[in-house]
Amino acid sequence: MPLLSNSSRNRLLPVLLPILLLGQLPAFAQQGHPTVEQVRAGMKANLKRVATPPADVFRTEIRQVWTGADSIPIQIYYPSAARNLPIVYDVHGGAFILLMLDLNSSRVLCNRTQSVVVSVDYRVAPEHPFPTSINDCYAVWNWIWENAEQIGGNRQKISLVGGSAGGLFIGALQVKRRQEGRPARPLAMVFINPGIDLRPGAPGEAQYRLVTDWYLKGADPNNPLVSPILNDKLGEYPPTLIITSEKDVLKPHGTRLAEKLKGAGVPTQLIDLPGVDHLIEFGAAGPKDLPAIEATVNFLNAANASEAK
């Protein structure tokens, strides 16, 4: 006997689709949506399936950053003992609900761009809904800016990378930066499969409704911090790379962002990866992610070289 009737399965398919894409979802309750624990288990199972051995780096360390409300773990990856290096702030995705700290993407970017890389284990929904994750990411960005020299970096060469929900967060950070007046504009930004419009009817809204509801918990989706595509000061963005995937339901988010940035005069590159879906394991730097990793490395290296002139 199936866990769900055909009618119930059809009703839940839009909200379960992205979860099913994230791995083998464990059996969930006979009625209602899966729990957050079940969704997280499915996502972790998929990440484990695609995991590759972590890249070796010169050194890593874990620190705690005080946000004003809690201490947030960050991991710092060093490519060498050199000083005055570029800095990459790598903000992971995970559908607003997954905790992650040691990212293979951060390790690869550290080695391939010879940058100090910082990843953040921000607090997640539904235990900590909007705006907690954004506030955590913003506190860590300020910490990086204030402590760049201490960690061997150059505060003039801080770039931001965000995959999926992490793309929404680095977009929201540009709204926070304008509101708060700090830190300085980043050197460059990279969005991988961003979902930056949480308004009703936006592409992917039906498919991701379950996790979006957990994240928003009634917050206004027309707030630019919620939907950074609504930022009316996009001309303040630095040079930006946007990576989309041909089969990703969120692809229109990245395409629209690229159009708006180009319209605002921002140097913008848009790369669409053919034949692939959402890069759910970008943080793992799995085989499917290699084209996106390569594009990100090339873009960041060019930005760092340009700043050095």
- Give me the CATH number covering residue 134: 3.40.50.1820
- Same domain for 7 and 89, yes or no, is no
Whether 220 and 73 share a structural domain: yes
Mean pLDDT of 202-231: 95
Which among 50, 70, 88 is the end of a domain? 50
* Model pLDDT, residue 52: 79
Domain count, the chain: 2
At 147 the pLDDT is: 97
Nearest alpha-carbon partner for 238 in 136, 158, 168: 158
| Together in a domain, 213 and 193 | yes
CA distances, 134 to each of 45, 116, 154, 176, 241 (Å): 26, 22, 24, 9, 21
pLDDT at 12: 38
Q: What is the mean pLDDT of residues 288-295?
A: 89
d(CA 269, CA 139): 28
Least confident of 110-119, 245-254, 282-291: 282-291
Indicate if 270 and 300 belong to the same structural domain. Answer: yes
Domain region containing 217: 58-308
Half-sphere exposure of residue 67, counting CA atoms within 13 Å on the CB side? 21
Q: In this predicted model, which residue has the larger pLDDT, 309 or 235? A: 235
At which of 31, 50, 69 does a domain end? 50
Q: Which domain-ending residue is among 32, 50, 68?
A: 50
pTM for this predicted structure: 0.89
Q: Which residues contact 39 (CB under 8 A, 6 or more apart)?
A: 19, 22, 25, 95, 97, 210, 211
Q: Which of 86-90, 95-99, 263-267 has the lowest mean pLDDT?
A: 95-99
Tens-place pLDDT, residues 46-92 = 777 777 788 999 999 999 999 888 899 999 999 999 999 999 999 99
